[in-house]
Amino acid sequence: MKLLVILLFSGLITGCRGNSSHSLPPKLLLVSFDGFRADYLQNYEFPHLQNFIKEGVLVEHVKNVFITKTFPNHYSIVTGLYEESHGIVANSMYDVITKKHFSDLDDKDPFWWNEAVPIWVTNQLQENRSSAAAMWPGTDVPIHNTTPSYFMNYSSSVSFEERLNNITTWLINSNPPVTFATLYWEEPDASGHKYGPEDKENMYRVLKEIDDLIGELVHKLKVLGLWENLNVIITSDHGMTQCSKDRLINLDRCIDNSSYALIDLTPVAAVLPKINTTEVYNKLKVCSPHMNVYLKEDIPARFHYQHNNRIQPIILVADEGWTIVLNKSLPKCDHGYDNSLSSMHPFLAAHGPAFHKGYKHNTINSVDIYPMMCHILGLKPRPNNGTFGHTKCLLVDQWCINLPEAVGIVIGALLVLTTLTGLIIIMQNRLSVPRPFSRLQLQEDDDDPLIE
Ligand SMILES: *[C@@H]1O[C@H](CO)[C@@H](O)[C@H](O)[C@H]1NC(C)=O
Ligand SMILES: *[C@@H]1O[C@H](CO)[C@@H](O)[C@H](O)[C@H]1NC(C)=O
Ligand SMILES: *[C@@H]1O[C@H](CO)[C@@H](O)[C@H](O)[C@H]1NC(C)=O
Ligand SMILES: *[C@@H]1O[C@H](CO)[C@@H](O)[C@H](O)[C@H]1NC(C)=O
Ligand SMILES: *[C@@H]1O[C@H](CO)[C@@H](O)[C@H](O)[C@H]1NC(C)=O
Ligand SMILES: *[C@@H]1O[C@H](CO)[C@@H](O)[C@H](O)[C@H]1NC(C)=O
Ligand SMILES: *[C@@H]1O[C@H](CO)[C@@H](O)[C@H](O)[C@H]1NC(C)=O
Ligand SMILES: *[C@@H]1O[C@H](CO)[C@@H](O)[C@H](O)[C@H]1NC(C)=O
Ligand SMILES: [Zn+2]
């Protein structure tokens, strides 16, 4: 009851929050450690990250978007859109109309990014606010003619320390102030591909390094006096799954490679037939029991992966842990698979004035992160596929009832109702017993209208 009153009260206060109570605009740092599979948190030790979570919130599984690749998922986090709606549908793309190619190494043409507006652009449209990026796919591209006010050209050779130093300098020193910032790091994805998530020894070492980087991040924010007022989200784009030389699907064994162009290979192949789509489809359809073959129009609705020119006429979706290859390629521990597989999911942790302390939540969708970030920054979200309500339990200024609480409240209410009903019945019985003439009196009453 006390909790309810407090919640109601804080709701009232935040509802009419003016400029006076918060003179500084809220700030948010969004961090991605690429390929941080959700269950690494259960299977390895992360003392620094666990400390971060103890004073903040944890979402154990983030359901990401199909295909579970790096560029598409990073763009979904900052737009709240499924891939078919933001246009970055793979790390390798081809547009049949313009005949343009896109790859993660050749990604600077705004054409590919302009189907959506990322949050760093929207943030800068607000007066007196700027955005900064220590890398994140798209942040070094002028999307709708706008880059973040402060950014780095992508280069994997820039150390974490340099990225961290520069992004914190921008967060402190800039005018107009940087209120939204990103920080991106290539691990543990790179090592996950190399060793596979089941290589305990190597992954232990790599994940310890990640945890140390998180320790550095927190330390730096504390030293600079940013820790208390900055909201920090640490998340990732996707997980990783184990590969094997026994789980290969060789397309060259099924179909002549001159009958189609391969825009993307594995674990979701994008196939552009040269002459006859039906013929290519029929051959691929019977190629392997370990992959699903879809004509574009038959791609399952749950993938939200259909309505875009950059999605090719045929896609092949390998089963978990299988690699699609041509004659000479090797197995690859990978991600990109069906987004309902938990091995593909990342996690999310957050800390700061906007977030509860010590709260754990089961799951949200990666597209829900965008409306939550807009809420924290006080930005009006653009049309998106996320649901703000899914993240309310993480936020201090929101009313939220989670499922166990809701069940408790319903049971409580039923108990109260049952008790009341019981009491009423007992009282009625008591009232009716000592009044033998009640019926007579009633009859008298019944006559009253006639007398009048
Ligand atoms: C806050 O300040 C801005 C500009 O100084 C002003 O436009 C806005 O109306 C103010 N909002 C409130 C709730 O006072
Ligand atoms: C923007 O910042 C400048 C200087 O920091 C200040 O003078 C001006 O009032 C601010 N404008 C708004 C709309 O807040
Ligand atoms: C990024 O690279 C482009 C072209 O190589 C260059 O013109 C630009 O100054 C660079 N921007 C930053 C912020 O380093
Ligand atoms: C980081 O900041 C330093 C100091 O301003 C600068 O020399 C360096 O080029 C920056 N690094 C990147 C990758 O932009
Ligand atoms: C088809 O495979 C042959 C033999 O491996 C190769 O030389 C050729 O470049 C491939 N063609 C296409 C279109 O990939
Ligand atoms: C495409 O191939 C199918 C199956 O081989 C065949 O029935 C059909 O006539 C072909 N269509 C064209 C336009 O060649
Ligand atoms: C793939 O390998 C098979 C068997 O070794 C060979 O017959 C075929 O020509 C190869 N195809 C390509 C495209 O390399
Ligand atoms: C996702 O959001 C966009 C923008 O509002 C909308 O056009 C699209 O239909 C939505 N997709 C789904 C599956 O609801
Ligand atoms: Zn990635």
Fold classified for 248-325: Gyrase A; domain 2 (3.30.1360)
Q: Which atom of ligand 3 is nearest to the CA of 152?
A: 13
Per-residue b or e along 33-45, where b marks 16 or more CB atoms closer than 10 Å to that residue's CB: bbbbbbebbeebe
Residue nearest to atom 8 of ligand 7 (CA): 252
Spacing, Cα 19 to ligand 1 middle (Å): 6
345-373 tens-digit pLDDT: 999 999 999 999 999 999 999 999 999 99
What is the model's pTM?
0.86
Q: What is the pLDDT of residue 422?
A: 81
pLDDT at 236 over 60: yes
Place of tokens 């699609």: 324
Q: What is the pLDDT of residue 405?
A: 72
pLDDT at 436 over 70: no
Spacing, Cα 166 to ligand 9 middle (Å): 23
> What is the average pLDDT score of the chain?
91
Please list, in sequence order, all residues whose beta carbon lies within 8 angstroms of the beta carbon of residue 7, skipping any fewer than 6 positions away.
399
Q: What is the pLDDT of residue 187?
A: 98
Cβ of residue 19 lying under 6 Å from some atom of ligand 1: yes
Place of tokens 């051959």: 283
Residue nearest to atom 12 of ligand 8 (CA): 385
Q: Strand, helix or coil at 281?
A: helix
Cβ of residue 258 lying under 6 Å from some atom of ligand 7: no
Equal CATH topology for 16-242+339-394 and 248-325: no
pLDDT at 6 over 50: no
Q: CA-CA distance, 429 to 272, in Å (whole number)?
A: 81
Torsion angle defined by CA atoms of residues 275, 276, 281 and 286, in that order, rounded to the nearest 10 degrees: -100
Q: Which atom of ligand 3 is nearest to the CA of 151?
A: 13
Residue nearest to atom 13 of ligand 1 (CA): 18
Q: What is the domain partition of the chain in residue ranges?
A: 16-242+339-394, 248-325
Tell me how long the chain is: 452
Catalytic site residues?
70
Ligand 6: lining residues by beta carbon, under 6 Å: 276, 278-279
In CATH terms, is domain 16-242+339-394 a member of 3.90.1210.10? no
Among candidate residues 132, 156, 143, 158, the one with its CA nearest the CA of residue 31: 132
**Across 122-127, average pLDDT:** 94
The ligand whose atoms approach the alpha carbon of 255 most closely is: 7
Spacing, Cα 166 to ligand 4 middle (Å): 6
Q: Strand, helix or coil at 110?
A: helix
377-423 tens-digit pLDDT: 999 999 999 999 999 999 999 998 766 677 878 888 888 888 888 88
